[in-house]
Amino acid sequence: MKHLKVFLVLALVFVANAVSAQSTFEKWPVIKEFHEVMSQTFHPAEEGNLAPIKARSEEMMNKAAMLLKSSIPTEFKTNAILASAERLQLKSKALHKLVKANGSDAAIVKSITDLHDTFHEIVGLCSDAK
């Protein structure tokens, strides 16, 4: 019974985050565009398939740059979100550089994982800003 309660709480948290991310993506379409590239490259990297990120690191870097240049919804224009978006841009640039320099697979996985965490930090901050 205890495991069921834990599962239900975790499921509720997951659903709440998914709904929050949907509205964030609706209000800030550029972050949705970044997410599409992130999800199509990060999840394969988790499985050991680095071909997608190696092929799309420049696209990821460009999407991160567009994120900062985009019209950020007023409610998301906080110092914390802007700072995280700047880190996202810098980290995506570093990842692209690493890929172009034929960095080790372990270094690429570490870099994209860090970038993924920064992305989720932004989405979480957007949820908090509402």
For helices 105-129 and 51-69, give the axis angle rounded to 10 degrees: 30
112 in a structural domain:
yes
Note the pLDDT of residue 43: 95
In a domain, 64, yes or no: yes
Q: How many domains does the chain have?
A: 1
Question: What pLDDT does residue 109 have?
Answer: 97
Higher local confidence (pLDDT), 69 or 8? 69
Of the candidates 43, 39, 41, 38, the one whose C-alpha atom is nearest the C-alpha of residue 64 is 38
User: Above 60 in pLDDT, residue 16?
Assistant: no
Average of pLDDT values for 40-69? 96
* Residue appearing with tokens 């050991």: 48
The label of the residue with tokens 């994982």 reads 113
Report helix, strand or coil for 28: coil
pLDDT, greater one: 31 or 20: 31
Within a domain: 14? no
92 in a structural domain = yes
Its domain, for residue 101, covers 24-129
pLDDT given at position 12: 46
pLDDT at 128: 81
Structure confidence by residue, pLDDT tens digits, 55-84: 999 999 999 999 989 989 999 999 999 999
Place of tokens 């490259």: 41
Q: Distance between CA 50 and CA 90 in Å, rounded?
A: 20
Residue 6 lies in a domain: no
Instruction: Report yes or no on 120 lying in a domain.
Output: yes
Inter-residue contact 37 to 56 (CB < 8 Å): yes
Q: Which residue has the higher pLDDT, 23 or 38?
A: 38
The pLDDT mean for the chain works out to 87
Residue 36 in any domain: the answer is yes
93 is a domain residue: yes
